[in-house]
Structure 1
Amino acid sequence: MPAPSSIDQVTERVERLLRQHEQLRRTNALLAQQVMALTQERDSLKSRLQAARARVDALLDRLPANQNSSDDTA
């Protein structure tokens, strides 16, 4: 069996590189989807946190003022 020619070697390498490129392209697309999903989840969590902070602030505003100053003299 004759040794592969340099053209055959280059062809084989190009084919390998094309397969690898396609695999990396698919991986990149999947990672981009994950980034988008995680960004949406982060934005949703930030919105929920902001709403919870607003509720806590509203509850704190409803608390009576501290009246310890009159109790300290007794």
Structure 2
Amino acid sequence: MATPFTPDQIAERVERLLVRHAELQRTNALLTDQVAALTHERDSLKSRLSAARARVDALLERLPAVAPAVTKESE
């Protein structure tokens, strides 16, 4: 049969669990902040990409239509 824990042993284990819990809460808060920052950065990059695509599309529309090239074989 297992030896029962003394109140001091239980108190020590509870203290360690409380410390670990606090560490995990801090880690979770930091990770939550990182997720928020990365989400903001992603949204900003998506917006910039969309704007760049729109500029490229506008430039492509300004290009004159090019007739197909005539090759010697088709002459």
TM-score (norm 1): 0.85
Counterpart of 1:10 in structure 2 is: 10
- Residue 66 (structure 1) shift: 1.3
- Where has structure 1 moved over 6 Å in runs of 4 or more? none
Per the TM alignment, residue 6 of structure 1 is displaced from its structure 2 partner at its CA by: 1.0
Number of matched pairs = 68
Q: Which residue of 2 aligns with 1:63?
A: 63
- Which ranges of structure 1 fall in alignment gaps of 5 or more residues? none
How many Å apart are 1:67 and its aligned residue? 1.5
Q: Tell me the percent identity.
A: 66
The equivalent of 2:42 in structure 1 is 42
SS at match of 1:65: coil
Equivalence for 2:32: 32
Provide, for residues 18-71 of structure 1, a one-character-per-residue CA deviation record: whole Å limited to 9, x for no partner.
000001000100110000000000000000000000000000001111113xx5
Gap runs ≥5 in structure 2: none
What is the TM-score normalised by the length of structure 2?
0.84
2:21 corresponds in structure 1 to: 21
| Partner Cα separation in structure 2 for residue 7 and residue 16 of structure 1 | 14
